[in-house]
Structure 1
Amino acid sequence: MLVIVFLLAAVSGLSFYVAALQSALPPRRWAMLGCLFGPAVLPMFMARRRFLLLSSRGLRYALLRA
């Protein structure tokens, strides 16, 4: 059981590192948070990514144009 927890923490840290690199977020910070808290950090990560996207493009910019 303990091995599974440590393995999940390492996989979460690696996946958050890669996702942060793709999203132009600080990768070491998100990798450390992923290792410490596991997948529980995902809502905070998605909210931060969305906030940076909105702040860089503006509120009136449509992501999907019909």
Structure 2
Amino acid sequence: MLVAIILLAPLSGLLFYVFALKSALPPRRWAMLGCLFGPAVLPLFMARRRWSLVCARGMKYALLRA
């Protein structure tokens, strides 16, 4: 189990780096957090990505249009 966690941490750091580049977030910070904490950082990443999108577009912009 410990070996799986040790191998998963650098992989998740790399994935967080790529996703942060796509989302216009600071990639080195998210890569470091991904390497340290692994996939546990995913909820924080998704919340930060959503918040940056809301700040960029404004509160009155609908993300899902009916």
Hey, what does 2:63 align to over in structure 1?
63
- In structure 2, C-alpha distance between the alignment counterparts of 1:27 and 1:46, rounded to whole Å: 14
Q: Which runs of 5+ in 1 are unaligned?
A: none
Segments of 4+ in structure 1 off by > 3 A?
A: none
RMSD over equivalenced CA pairs, Å: 1.0
Structure 1 residue 4: Cα displacement? 1.6
Identical residues among aligned pairs (%): 76
Q: How far apart are the structure 2 equivalents of 1:65 and 1:2?
A: 45
**1:12-42 deviation digits (Å, cap 9, x = unpaired):** 1011011101000000000000000011111
Q: TM-score, normalised by structure 2?
A: 0.91
Give aligned pairs, total. 66
Report deviation, 1:2: 3.5
